[in-house]
C-alpha cells in the first residue's frame, strides 16, 4: 500500500470506520479500474497484511535492541566505581 493509501486508511479509521473496512474502501477508491473482483481485493489486502507484518517485526526488533542497550547502560550506572591505587 502506498503511503497515500495508508494515510487515507488512517483518516477513515480516525473517523470511526473499522480498520479492515477502511482498507477495503481505500483499495476500492484508489484502483485504476474503478472496481476490483473479490480475488483482486483479497490479493491487495494480503499484500497489505504482509507489508504490515514486515514493518511491525522491524519495529519489535528495534525495540528489543533498544531495551537491551538501555538495560546494559543502566547496569553500569548503578555500580559504584572502585578506585585502585597503584603502588610505585
pLDDT (tens digit per residue) in 34-56? 789 999 999 988 888 888 888 88
Integer CA distances (angstroms), 25 to 2, 17, 19, 51, in order: 14, 10, 10, 18
C-alpha cell at 79: 555500580
- Low-confidence spans in the chain with pLDDT less than 50: none
Tell me how far apart the alpha carbons of residues 71 and 41 are, in angstroms, rounded to a whole number: 45
Rg (CA), the chain: 24
For the chain, domain boundaries = 3-77
Residue % of the chain over a pLDDT of 70: 80
Amino acid at each position: 500500500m502506498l503511503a497515500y493509501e495508508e494515510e487515507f486508511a488512517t483518516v477513515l479509521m480516525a473517523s470511526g470506520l473499522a480498520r479492515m473496512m477502511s482498507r477495503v474502501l481505500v483499495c476500492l477508491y484508489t484502483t485504476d479500474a474503478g472496481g476490483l473482483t473479490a480475488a483482486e481485493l483479497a490479493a491487495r489486502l494480503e499484500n497489505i497484511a504482509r507489508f504490515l507484518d514486515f514493518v511491525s517485526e522491524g519495529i519489535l526488533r528495534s525495540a528489543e535492541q533498544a531495551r537491551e542497550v538501555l538495560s546494559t547502560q543502566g547496569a553500569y550506572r548503578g555500580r559504584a566505581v572502585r578506585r585502585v591505587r597503584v603502588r610505585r
